[in-house]
Every structure is written in C-alpha cells, then in structure tokens.
Amino acid sequence: MQLVQLQEQYSTVEALNAQVIAISADNLEGAGWAIEQQGLEYPVLYDTDSTIIKTYGLYNANDQGRSRPATFIIDRNGYVRWQYLGRSTSDRPPNSLVFEQVGLINSSEN
C-alpha cells in the first residue's frame, strides 16, 4: 500500500468503516519528517526497537536487514484476516486489492 496514494484515497478507507495505522521502524526524526512531507493524516506507530517487525518475521535478510513491507487487515476482534508480505522493499499490494479485502471481511462480519 503506497502511503501517499492511500492518503489520497482515504475517503475510501472511511467509507469501508476501516482504519489505517502505519508502522515505522525508522528513527522518530526521520519518520516524522517523512510523514509531515507526505501529509499523512492517519496514525503512525513508531516501532524503533523493531518489536512488531520481529514478531511478524518481516526482516528481509536479502535487503541489508531492512523490514519487508507488509499489509495486515485485522478484524474488530483483533484477528489477522488477510495479509500481504512483500518480497522486497518495493513490493506492496495495490490499494484496490486491500480495499477489496476489507470489503469482503466487512461483509462476512455483518
């Protein structure tokens, strides 16, 4: 999911009664600057000690130990209902696929 594109399509997220939380393992100064420059309005969790990255096994040994991008859809009960684990730092799902999955999960919960 591309962060800037997601911000541009945030009305779609809201229409799906969903919420976005970005997670950054970058230092606070660098991540804060990027968020401000990109105009992101959704919350960002700072995982500077990489707890979440380690928990979900997202370190990419082939990319200098950086985290692979990942998208998780978590339902109202806290269960991961869908995930996309990128194979490289640029491998992200299209927003349309994520929105489709959120819609399917929403319809199954109703």
The confidence score (pLDDT) of residue 74 equals 87
Model pTM above 0.85: no
89 in Cβ contact with 60 (< 8 Å): yes
Q: Summarize pLDDT for 16-52 with one digit per residue, the tens.
A: 888 888 887 777 776 677 678 777 777 888 888 888 8
Confidence band for 1, pLDDT divided at 50, 70 and 90: very low
Class of domain 3-109: alpha beta
The confidence score (pLDDT) of residue 26 equals 74
Mean pLDDT confidence for 59-68: 69
